C-alpha cells in the first residue's frame, strides 16, 4: 500500500478526534496539529487513539528475555502530535514545508463564540492560512477537506447579527471561498448543521460526557424526511461528518460543497476497508 499521510488541523476537538480515529483505522499516517499539541491527560482521545497508535505494542517479558540477542526493530508510530497556532500564517507555511510527503489535509478548526473578531480569526483566518499554504507550498497535497457549517444565518438573519454569530458565519464564508477558489478540484467543503454525538468537556482534572445525541438523534429522525435546508436542516451524527471527511480525502471522491444529503450519500457508498493490519504490513 502506498504511503498516505494526513495533516489534521484541530484533530483534538469534538469532530477532529473522530476524524483522527477513523483515519488511523484506515491506515493513514496522521500528523495532528492543534494549539495545545498532545491531548491533555484524561482526554478520551488518549485512551481511544493515542494509546493504540502512539506507543509500540507491549512485549511479553519472557519473550524478551528469550530473544535478547535478536536485533530490535524500531517502532514508527503512525500518529504524531504537534503544537501549532493556525492563525499564524508563518507557522502554517513552515508546517506545510516541513511535511512535503503529506498527501491530504483536513481542517476541523472552528470556534462558536459571540466574540466577532475571535470567531472571524479562528474560523476564517486560520483556514485561509491553510488554503494559502497549500496553494503556494503544498503542491503534493491532492485534497483538502474543510469542515465548515450550514449557513443558518441566511434563513434566520438574526443569527448573523454582530451581537450573535456574525463573526462565526463570516469566518466560515471566507474560509470556504479560500478553499474552493484557490484549490479548485483539490478542495472539499463539508457543511453540517447541528452535530450530535457524545462530546467530552473538561471538568476539574478529568472529562465528562455531554450526550448531545439525546437531542440531536430524535430531531434528525423528525427532520430528515422533510428534505429541507436552513433551520430545518436535520442534525447530523459526528461519526457521519468524520466518515465523510475521511472518504472525501480520497482522490475518487467528489469535490466542492457537500451538505447533509451529500455527506449521507457519500457515507452510504460501499468502500473496501483500508485498515492496515500488522499482517498486511509484514
What local confidence, expressed as pLDDT, does residue 71 receive?
A: 47
| Percent of the chain clearing pLDDT 90 (strictly above) | 64
What tens digit of pLDDT does each residue of 1-30 get?
A: 467 999 999 999 999 999 999 999 999 999
The DSSP string of 113-160 is -S-HHHHIIIIIIHHHHHHHHHHHT-TT--EEEEE----HHHHSGGGG
Q: Is 139 exposed, middle or buried (CB count within 10 Å of its CB: 0-12, 13-18, 19+)? A: exposed
For residue 272, pLDDT beyond 90? no
The answer as to whether 67 is a domain residue is no
The answer as to whether 63 is a domain residue is no
pTM surpassing 0.75?
yes
CATH code for the domain in which residue 99 is found: 3.40.50.720
The answer as to whether 71 is a domain residue is no
The answer as to whether 219 is a domain residue is yes
What local confidence, expressed as pLDDT, does residue 277 receive?
A: 39
| Total domains present in the chain | 1
What tens digit of pLDDT does each residue of 34-79 get?
A: 999 888 777 777 666 666 665 555 555 445 444 444 444 444 679 9
Among 10, 52, 58, 63, smallest CA distance to 33 is for 10
The answer as to whether 68 is a domain residue is no
Cβ–Cβ < 8 Å for 4, 29: yes
What local confidence, expressed as pLDDT, does residue 273 receive?
A: 44
Q: What is the mean pLDDT of residues 231-258?
A: 93
The domain in which residue 251 lies consists of 5-57+77-281
**Calpha distance 115→117 (Å, rounded):** 6
Give residues with Cβ within 8 angstroms of 129, minimum separation 6. 86, 87, 88, 89, 92, 93
Among 90, 85, 22, smallest CA distance to 248 is for 22
Amino acid at each position: 500500500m502506498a504511503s498516505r499521510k494526513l495533516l489534521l488541523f484541530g484533530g483534538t476537538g469534538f469532530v477532529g478526534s473522530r476524524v483522527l480515529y477513523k483515519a488511523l483505522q484506515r491506515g493513514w499516517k496522521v500528523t495532528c496539529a492543534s494549539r495545545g499539541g498532545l491531548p491533555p491527560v484524561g482526554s478520551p482521545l488518549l485512551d481511544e487513539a493515542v494509546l493504540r497508535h502512539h506507543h509500540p505494542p507491549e512485549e511479553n517479558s519472557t519473550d524478551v528475555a528469550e530473544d535478547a540477542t535478536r536485533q530490535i526493530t524500531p517502532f514508527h508510530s503512525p500518529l504524531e502530535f504537534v503544537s501549532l497556532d493556525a492563525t499564524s500564517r508563518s507557522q502554517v507555511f513552515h508546517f506545510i514545508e516541513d511535511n512535503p510527503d503529506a498527501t491530504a489535509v483536513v481542517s476541523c478548526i472552528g470556534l462558536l463564540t459571540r466574540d466577532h473578531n475571535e470567531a472571524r480569526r479562528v474560523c476564517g483566518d486560520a483556514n485561509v492560512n491553510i488554503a494559502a499554504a497549500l496553494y503556494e507550498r503544498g503542491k503534493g497535497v491532492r485534497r483538502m477537506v474543510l469542515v465548515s457549517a450550514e449557513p443558518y444565518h441566511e434563513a434566520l438573519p438574526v443569527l448573523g447579527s454582530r451581537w450573535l454569530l456574525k463573526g462565526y458565519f463570516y469566518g466560515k464564508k471566507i474560509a470556504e471561498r479560500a478553499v474552493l477558489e484557490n484549490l479548485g478540484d483539490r478542495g472539499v467543503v463539508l457543511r453540517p448543521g447541528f452535530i450530535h454525538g457524545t462530546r467530552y468537556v473538561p471538568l476539574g482534572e478529568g472529562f465528562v460526557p455531554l450526550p448531545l445525541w439525546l437531542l440531536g438523534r430524535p430531531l434528525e429522525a423528525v427532520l430528515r424526511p422533510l428534505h429541507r435546508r436552513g433551520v430545518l436542516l436535520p442534525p447530523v451524527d459526528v461519526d457521519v461528518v468524520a466518515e465523510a471527511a475521511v472518504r472525501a480525502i480520497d482522490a475518487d471522491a467528489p469535490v466542492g460543497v457537500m451538505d447533509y444529503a451529500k455527506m449521507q450519500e457519500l457515507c452510504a457508498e460501499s468502500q473496501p476497508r483500508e485498515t492496515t493490519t500488522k499482517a498486511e504490513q509484514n
